[in-house]
Amino acid sequence: MYHLSRAIYRELAPHVLDERPSCQLETNQELVLRACERTMHRLWYDGRHFAKPARSLFNDVRIYFSITMQLKVYMVIERHVNIALDYVSRLPEREHDANGMPRACQAMTRKGQPCQRQPLPRSEYCPSHQHLTERLEELEGDLIAA
């Protein structure tokens, strides 16, 4: 993921505006680089909950580019983020979360305690709570149809 964030930065760096406010400590290039790294880090560790990473990164960095470069910036970001998404989707399911803790089912028990069972691969719920995933997908389908 490091290579992908640096690839975005290398392609965008020549187009970053040099002007910056006097109160800003970092250069615009540093801020663009950090935004690229943050996005790739989040994609790697929290990709399931990162709905539109390309749009998010573009919104973070677009102020550092001229109006005439906006389309090119978005195209570069989208291309590299799609490569990253494809790479992450082909990896085997990780058994630990970003903090190194074993993944746990996201559902709550009847007593109000978090479920401690291991979730199924490519899911956030254990076999006992798998019906919650199906219901969520139905609701998303209804929203798209409306």
Global pTM value: 0.67
Where would I find the H helices in the chain?
A: 2-12, 28-46, 53-61, 70-90, 130-145
Residues near 79 by Cβ (< 8 Å), separated by ≥ 6?
none
Q: What is the pLDDT of residues 50-92, one digit of tens each?
A: 889 999 999 999 999 999 999 999 999 999 999 988 888 776 6
Domain extents in the chain: 2-90, 103-146
3-class DSSP state for residue 108?
strand
